[in-house]
Structure 1
Amino acid sequence: MLDVRRMALLAAVLDTGSMTAAAEELNYTPSAVSQQLRRLEAEVGQPLLHRQPRGVTSTEAGAVLADHARRVVRQLAAAEADLAEIAGLRRGVLELGTFPTIASSLLPLAVSRFRAAHPAIRLTVRSARFDELVRVLEDGTVGMSLLWDYEWNRLDPARFALTHLLDDPTALVVAADHPLARRRVVDMTALADEDWIVRAHDHPVAEVLERSCRTAGFTPRIAFHANDYQEAQAMVSVGLGVALAPRTAVATTHPAVRVVGLGRSAPSRRILLAHRHDRVRAAAELAMHQVLVEVAREYRTRA
Structure 2
Amino acid sequence: MRFDLTDLRLFLAVVDAGSITHGAAEAGLSLPAASERLRDMEAAGGVALLERGRRGVTTTEAGAALAHHARTILHQVAQMRGELGEHARGLRTTIRLHANTAAITEFLPGRLASWMAANPQSDIELKERQSAEIARNVTAGFAEIGILSDAVDPGDLTLRPFATDRLIVVAPRGDALTAMARVRFADVLDRHFIGLAGGALQDHIEAQAAKIGARLKIRVRLRSFDGICEMASAGAGVGIVPEAAARRCRRSVPLAAIRLCEDWATRRLSVCIRDEADLTAPGRSLFEHLTSNARP
TM-score by length of 2: 0.54
Q: For residues 47-101 of structure 1, give each alpha carbon's deviation from its aligned partner in whole angstroms, at most 9, with x where no partner exists.
A: xxxxxxxxxxxxxxxxxxxxxxxxxxxxxxxxx9984455xxx765241223443
Which segment is superposed worse, 259-268 or 103-112?
Answer: 259-268
**Structure 2, unaligned runs of 5 or more:** 1-82
Partner of 2:106: 105
| Aligned 1:19-34 pairs, distance under 5 A | none
Q: For residues 191-216 of structure 1, give each alpha carbon's deviation from its aligned partner in whole angstroms, at most 9, with x where no partner exists.
A: 458514155767101234566xx5xx
What is the aligned-residue identity percentage?
A: 16
Q: For residues 246-274 of structure 1, give each alpha carbon's deviation from its aligned partner in whole angstroms, at most 9, with x where no partner exists.
A: 32554642724332333567631231212
Partner of 1:259: 257
Q: For residues 99-118 of structure 1, give each alpha carbon's deviation from its aligned partner in whole angstroms, at most 9, with x where no partner exists.
A: 443222211221123134x3
Change in 2 beyond 3 A, CA 1:157/1:111: same
The answer to whether residue 267 in structure 2 is matched with residue 269 in structure 1 is yes
Q: SS in structure 2 opposite 1:260?
A: strand
Which of 165, 170, 184 in structure 2 is aligned with 1:168? Answer: 165
The answer to whether residue 123 in structure 2 is matched with residue 126 in structure 1 is no
Moved over 6 A (4+): 218-221
Change in 2 beyond 3 A, CA 1:110/1:278: closer
Partner of 2:236: 240
Determine if contact 2:185/2:261 at 8 Å carries over to the other structure: no
Structure 1 residue 279 displacement after superposition: 5.7
Separation in structure 1 between the aligned mates of residue 102 and residue 278 of structure 2, nearest angstrom: 29
Change in 2 beyond 3 A, CA 1:184/1:114: farther
Larger radius of gyration: 1
Determine if contact 1:195/1:241 at 8 Å carries over to the other structure: yes
Change in 2 beyond 3 A, CA 1:176/1:210: farther
Which segment is superposed worse, 136-145 or 187-196?
Answer: 187-196
The answer to whether residue 143 in structure 2 is matched with residue 142 in structure 1 is yes
Q: Superposition RMSD on alpha carbons, in Å?
A: 3.9
**Structure 1, unaligned runs of 5 or more:** 1-79
Partner of 2:293: 295
Q: SS in structure 2 opposite 1:146?
A: strand
The one-letter code of the counterpart of 1:240 is A
Q: For residues 202-257 of structure 1, give each alpha carbon's deviation from its aligned partner in whole angstroms, at most 9, with x where no partner exists.
A: 7101234566xx5xxx9677353635454543442332332223325546427243
Q: For residues 128-173 of structure 1, give each alpha carbon's deviation from its aligned partner in whole angstroms, at most 9, with x where no partner exists.
A: 23276556535544311222352xxx22323x33333233122111
Q: SS in structure 1 opposite 2:279?
A: coil
The one-letter code of the counterpart of 2:112 is V
The one-letter code of the counterpart of 1:275 is I
Determine if contact 2:276/2:284 at 8 Å carries over to the other structure: no
Separation in structure 2 between the aligned mates of residue 120 and residue 189 of structure 1, nearest angstrom: 44
The one-letter code of the counterpart of 2:203 is H
Determine if contact 1:199/1:205 at 8 Å carries over to the other structure: no
Separation in structure 2 between the aligned mates of residue 85 and residue 265 of structure 1, nearest angstrom: 45
Separation in structure 2 between the aligned mates of residue 189 and residue 141 of structure 1, nearest angstrom: 35
TM-score by length of 1: 0.53
The answer to whether residue 93 in structure 2 is matched with residue 93 in structure 1 is yes
Separation in structure 1 between the aligned mates of residue 174 and residue 217 of structure 2, nearest angstrom: 20
Q: SS in structure 1 opposite 2:205?
A: helix
Q: SS in structure 2 opposite 1:271?
A: strand
The one-letter code of the counterpart of 1:206 is E
The answer to whether residue 231 in structure 2 is matched with residue 226 in structure 1 is no
Separation in structure 1 between the aligned mates of residue 142 and residue 185 of structure 2, nearest angstrom: 44
Determine if contact 2:104/2:128 at 8 Å carries over to the other structure: no
Which segment is superposed worse, 243-252 or 218-227?
Answer: 218-227
| Aligned 1:197-208 pairs, distance under 5 A | 197=193, 198=195, 203-208=203-208
Separation in structure 2 between the aligned mates of residue 295 and residue 219 of structure 1, nearest angstrom: 38
